[in-house]
Structure 1
Amino acid sequence: MVVRDFEMDRLPFPLAVVVQGIYTIKTGRHVFYYEDQEKGPRSPETDRDSQSLEDVQRPYYAPVVTRDALQKIVGVARECSNGKHCVADWNARVHLAVLDLALHNPSFTERICFMNCNTAQLQPESLVPSWPHLTEYQLTSKMVDFVVCLRFDNDDDLECMRDILLESNPQSLSINQTLHDRLIAAPIALSIFTKRPDQTWDEAQLQISVWVAAQFKRLNQLVQCRWGGEWRKHAYDFLPFIIIDGHEWSFLAASLNGIGQTVICRKIMFSDTMTESGVQQILAVLHWIAVWVQRTYRRWFYESVLDMAMPGDGHY
């Protein structure tokens, strides 16, 4: 594993767009909160054919939420922090509520979904051999807490996915790096990990990085099955993930370098759950990433994995 800073001039363009949007939201300069939203929410432009990062400098409306909802999250987060609650409490009482506010709305529910997956384990064959030896405990313990996935309800899409799975590896009938029931036919786009208080940052980063490296391996298997020797032209450039450490939410991303090593871009701590405005910024970043999932990643998955045109245009 190689760890480095986010360097805008070295990032794949789709990742540069996502990162620039996160930095913009982090400053608060272009996020309009609930009291300013007279006309309702408006999505940012993240079309992969955009020619400039200026597209993400436009004013961006975060999801519309009530002040009561924000105050409740802040209050419960403080209770969890002051009471030194376990990760399970944070996930059930704070993080699930944040994800629900950000993602469970008509803009996304037909195309993406999120779920708790803290019992999902890696398939042994999806592990990358070059990674450090992992103990049995590490392999059977929690890998991540939540995932945001592409949603496929169309019978033709599901049939195409089944055919690809049979071709790529008949022994592994999952589109992902895990055989967790709910994730077999729901391609993961974003993984979220809640760090334990007794974990170091390096330990948390290693754990989710193993998960993401296995995801890269599985995606590349699927793309190779579809495109053969030209698969590298169709492989995706990066996979995003989030690590939550107490109140703080941080964005990271993984990519593969020319020799197949996993490269992790160091965290961007974009907000926290200590204030109402902090929670609203988290909602805005999640909403921003969800737009990328719905429009850019979903289009790539249709074209490069399923080898078919994406229904609709991905806009909403």
Structure 2
Amino acid sequence: MAQDIDHWLLSVEAAEVPNLRPEESFWSKDCKRKRMRLTPPPDDEPEMASPKKRKTGYATAASAHSETEASLSSFDEQHGDNNVTPRPRHTTRLSRSASHHSTQSGASSPRKHLAAMNLFERRIKMGNFSDTGMMPGSLLALRQRLVSQLLRGRKILGLTSKPVFQQVDVLHDDFGTLMADADFFFSTERDALGTTPTPDDAMYILESAAECAGHDQAECGWSSDVHHEILSQALRRRQPGRTYKTLVKFMACSTATLMKEYKLPSAPDKKVDYCIYLDPAYDTDDPDMGNLIDNLRSQLPLYSINITGEISLLKTPLAIPIEIKRSGEGGDDAALQVATWLEAQMELLHRLISRCASSGPSLDDIGFMPGLIIQGHSWNFVAATRRGNETVIWSDMCVGSTSDVIGIYQIVAFLQILRQWVVETYWPWLKELIRRAHFDASASDNT
């Protein structure tokens, strides 16, 4: 038997090895590595079966890399079926250089998406808060209020909280700054917005943010330790038995997906981390609004009053989307996510208006829809306005930072300013729209 094996090995011809450049032998589909194929042994030697050909990931990696480069060549092809839940592709291991190149390519895709979304009949255009010429009056008024007061730190503390602050300057040097110019920072106007966090609460947020930054924590760490705490301080008054019995609430919604009926066809599937919403059950002025919403949403996609079919949000109208990113990362992607949600929200409101048989509420009455982008310490205000089929996303206004005490109080005050706008402007307008859309649709069905 040993002689037979030796005879078989001597009969094997050396395989020809192609002379390829290094990059061709690794990446080229047409120049796959050729393997030496041995002539199988005689039939009477079953234990010498031909070696199995091992699959390699090189050609597949090259194909995936090429797909990444071409992924934005056609938005319709890439996102043609928006109703399909996105799933990860089967992946293959890339080399370090390939992974690095793929990451760079993916990082630029949000800008390409935003640019391409301005080319369609229904489109998104990016604007900047510094360009006030085309800004609606209501958004311009809010901008002026922020620039003249909040962004300077003026009136960010309620006057009723002043006695507490007079005893805590030893906690942090920033409290000494606040008390040195108390007339500038404290005001009764601020008390009308809501409760001012105590110095202990502000210090907890400051230290939590420093901990997250110091340990380079992921988004989930920032979200649970810092962002959720600020939202709670601003929008939840902790009273036993009453904490959640309020009209304006917030919740984490990272699993909520946009409906294809409202999402811009050219936009990718995007989600956001938090949202501020309205709970009609706690509107004491309109106790029947919950029933009206139920009747109206029975005629809407997925029986939802919103742009998402998320079960927890079917009957509680959205007001403000919030996206979270780590410090210095994903700014373009966050802008794309919030822009996609705000545009879809504008489309929903536009369609509800179109259901009204006669002249009813107009988007001009509210002027804009707000959103927030949080990157590490920095909280940034964005807003959407609509002109015809074009939605303009206004961005680049930082309203505060969790890297200092004053910035924390600026953020809380701004969140309460937004809540005031939701309660006094958006909700009364939306209730009228819901009422008109419901009754006009019912009258049309009965004719």
Quote how far apart the aligned CAs of 1:125 are.
1.8
- In the other structure, the counterpart of 1:102 is 234
Q: Provide, for residues 163-206 of structure 1, a one-character-per-residue CA deviation record: whole Å limited to 9, x for no partner.
A: 22234x3x431111101111111111111110245844222101
Inter-partner Cα distance in structure 1 for 2:403 and 2:256: 30
- In the other structure, the counterpart of 1:294 is 423
Inter-partner Cα distance in structure 1 for 2:249 and 2:273: 14
AA paired with 1:147?
A: C
Inter-partner Cα distance in structure 1 for 2:289 and 2:161: 40
- In the other structure, the counterpart of 2:156 is 31
**After superposition, where does 1:202-281 map in structure 2 within 5 Å?**
202-225=332-355, 227-228=356-357, 230=359, 233=362, 236-258=366-388, 260-281=389-410
**Is 1:148–1:189's contact at 8 Å kept on the other side of the alignment?**
yes
- In the other structure, the counterpart of 1:90 is 222
Inter-partner Cα distance in structure 1 for 2:415 and 2:370: 11
Higher RCO by CA contacts (8 Å cutoff, separation 6 or greater): 1
**After superposition, where does 1:54-73 map in structure 2 within 5 Å?**
59-61=189-191, 63-73=195-205
> How well do the aligned residues superpose, as a CA RMSD in angstroms?
2.8
Q: Provide, for residues 4-40 of structure 1, a one-character-per-residue CA deviation record: whole Å limited to 9, x for no partner.
A: 222445333332333233222111123236785359x
Quote how far apart the aligned CAs of 1:77 are.
0.5
Inter-partner Cα distance in structure 2 for 1:173 and 1:246: 36
AA paired with 1:291?
A: Q
Q: Identity of counterpart residues, as a percentage?
A: 27
Inter-partner Cα distance in structure 1 for 2:202 and 2:421: 24
Alpha-carbon distance change, 108 to 255 in structure 1, aligned in 2, over 3 angstroms: farther
**Is 1:103–1:109's contact at 8 Å kept on the other side of the alignment?**
no
- In the other structure, the counterpart of 1:160 is 292
Inter-partner Cα distance in structure 2 for 1:156 and 1:104: 24
Inter-partner Cα distance in structure 2 for 1:98 and 1:215: 25
**Is 2:328–2:375's contact at 8 Å kept on the other side of the alignment?**
no
Q: Secondary structure at the match of 1:72?
A: helix
Quote how far apart the aligned CAs of 1:293 are.
0.7
Inter-partner Cα distance in structure 2 for 1:198 and 1:70: 23
Quote how far apart the aligned CAs of 1:257 are.
1.9
Give the structure-2-normalised TM-score: 0.57
Inter-partner Cα distance in structure 2 for 1:238 and 1:78: 34
AA paired with 2:431?
A: Y
Larger deviation, residues 64-73 vs 246-255: 64-73
Inter-partner Cα distance in structure 2 for 1:251 and 1:65: 21
AA paired with 2:409?
A: Q
Alpha-carbon distance change, 176 to 282 in structure 1, aligned in 2, over 3 angstroms: same
**Is 2:279–2:316's contact at 8 Å kept on the other side of the alignment?**
yes
The answer as to 2:202 corresponding to 1:75 is no
Q: Provide, for residues 56-88 of structure 1, a one-character-per-residue CA deviation record: whole Å limited to 9, x for no partner.
A: x99534632221111111101111111111101
AA paired with 1:223?
A: I
Structure showing greater radius of gyration is 2
Q: Secondary structure at the match of 2:333?
A: helix
Q: Provide, for residues 250-270 of structure 1, a one-character-per-residue CA deviation record: whole Å limited to 9, x for no partner.
A: 001011123x12211122111
- In the other structure, the counterpart of 2:279 is 151
5+ residue gaps, structure 1, are: 40-56, 309-316
5+ residue gaps, structure 2, are: 1-123, 165-186, 438-447
**Is 1:164–1:222's contact at 8 Å kept on the other side of the alignment?**
no
AA paired with 1:90?
A: W
**Is 2:343–2:391's contact at 8 Å kept on the other side of the alignment?**
yes
Inter-partner Cα distance in structure 2 for 1:229 and 1:199: 47
The answer as to 2:128 corresponding to 1:5 is yes
Q: How many residues align?
A: 280
AA paired with 2:315?
A: A
